[in-house]
Chains A and B, each alone.
Chain A
Amino acid sequence: MSSAATDASQAASSGGQDVSAYVIHHVGNSDSWHPLPGVGVPLGGDFHLFGIDLGLSLHALMLLIAGGIVFLLFGILYKKQSDRAPSGITNMLEALVLFVRDEICVNYIGEKDGKRLAPFFLNFFFMVLVLNLMGLIPLFSTATANISVTMGLALITLTMMIIGGIVKNGLVGFFQLFLPPGVPKAVYIILFPIELMGLFIKPFALTIRLFANMLGGHIVIFSLLGLIISFGWFGVPSLALALFVFFLELLVAFIQAFIFTMLSAMFVGDMMHPSH
């Protein structure tokens, strides 16, 4: 937050246009990393593979750092204590792991498959949580406020839905999932495309939900801080409001990670064990 404020006062001129550019710059993807005011780290270059730009951008760096943090949490900081009651970080992590496994995986996918797919959803939950929380730390930027990132995650859910449906029900059974029973055959012509659209709308809603929640929160925070650009020193009281929204964002980060994981589990469970 301090770097944002000093950046704002550095932008000097007062004008709405500057505020919007300032907000978008801080929220969107870019090609260099500014951990401290005045220190810019240009990242990776033009690395094109089949015409797709795969250079290391800011959000890609955030993704890597988040992966590193998750790996640190579970690979190194988690000390296995198998003979006594756990304490410290192990305790907190175990509580979260148990919560995700019992309330989310087993609840929606069933006992056996839920336990088998638990690593997937654990990964979802912790990656999204760490990415969301990292966005609130001044050093880093929110990768989940990038629609490409959330779309990537939702596409993984879509793939799991389709693969899970085909593996559990067979290819024919997979298409029968879209033809609910107890409906006269003539209605199938209308119903089948609608159900098929429903298959694709669910991950789309997932991506929009996560993306817009994160983006909206950060836009609000940076807009409030941008009032300092517009009003100079008189805009400083907006810091209090920004702080309040910051705490709200903290809550939303946890809730959105939980909702993303839970809805993914619900969709995959629906495909694997249809309960029509």
Chain B
Amino acid sequence: MFSAPGLAAIGAGLVVIGAGVGIGRIAGSAMDGISRQPEASNKIQTAMIIGAALIEGVAFFCAVLCLLALNK
């Protein structure tokens, strides 16, 4: 059960949980902001995309670690 590929897969799953929660909160706040002030929706959208990409970067970093662990 504790084989390297299995653990790597579990690790990748945990990383995705973190990324999902983070990006979900960003998107939720962005929705709130847009609904309160539709005129600012362009800026909010841009900021949301940038924030989501940064969080995904961290998540992918750990995904790459899992990929490395998969093969060792």
Question: Measuring CB to CB, which residues of chain A are less than 8 angstroms from any residue of chain B?
Answer: 205, 208-209, 211-213, 216, 255-256, 259, 262
Residues of B within 8 A of A208 (CB): 57, 60-61, 64
Number of residue pairs A-B, CB distance < 8 angstroms = 29
- The reply to whether B50 and A259 form a contact with Cβ atoms under 8 Å apart is yes
CA distance A256 to B50 in the complex (A): 10
Residues of A within 8 A of B50 (CB): 259, 262
Task: Indicate with 1 or 0, residue by residue over B45-72, a CB within 8 angstroms of chain A CB atoms.
Answer: 0000110011011101101100000000
- The reply to whether A212 and B63 form a contact with Cβ atoms under 8 Å apart is yes
Main secondary structure of the interface of A (DSSP, over half): helix
CA distance A216 to B58 in the complex (A): 14
Distance from B46 Cβ to chain A, minimum over Cβ atoms (Å) = 9
Number of interface residues of B (CB under 8 A): 11
Question: Measuring CB to CB, which residues of chain B are less than 8 angstroms from any residue of chain A?
Answer: 49-50, 53-54, 56-58, 60-61, 63-64
Residues of A within 8 A of B54 (CB): 259
Distance from A33 Cβ to chain B, minimum over Cβ atoms (Å) = 25
CA distance A211 to B49 in the complex (A): 18
Residues of A within 8 A of B58 (CB): 205
- The reply to whether B63 and A255 form a contact with Cβ atoms under 8 Å apart is no
CA distance A213 to B57 in the complex (A): 8
Chain B minimum-CB-distance residue to A263: B54
- Across the A-B interface, the 3 shortest Cβ-Cβ residue pairs: A212-B60, A209-B57, A259-B53
- The reply to whether A205 and B61 form a contact with Cβ atoms under 8 Å apart is yes
CA distance A211 to B61 in the complex (A): 10
CA distance A212 to B67 in the complex (A): 10
CA distance A208 to B63 in the complex (A): 10
Q: Given known contacts A208-B64, A212-B63, A216-B63, is B49 in contact with A255 (CB within 8 Å)?
A: yes
- The reply to whether A209 and B49 form a contact with Cβ atoms under 8 Å apart is no
Distance from B56 Cβ to chain A, minimum over Cβ atoms (Å) = 7
CA distance A212 to B57 in the complex (A): 8
Chain A minimum-CB-distance residue to B60: A212
CA distance A259 to B53 in the complex (A): 7
Distance from A55 Cβ to chain B, minimum over Cβ atoms (Å) = 25
Residues of B within 8 A of A216 (CB): 60, 63
8 A-B residue pairs with Cβ-Cβ distance under 8 Å, sorted by A, are A208-B57, A208-B61, A209-B56, A212-B57, A212-B60, A213-B60, A216-B60, A255-B49
Residues of A within 8 A of B49 (CB): 255
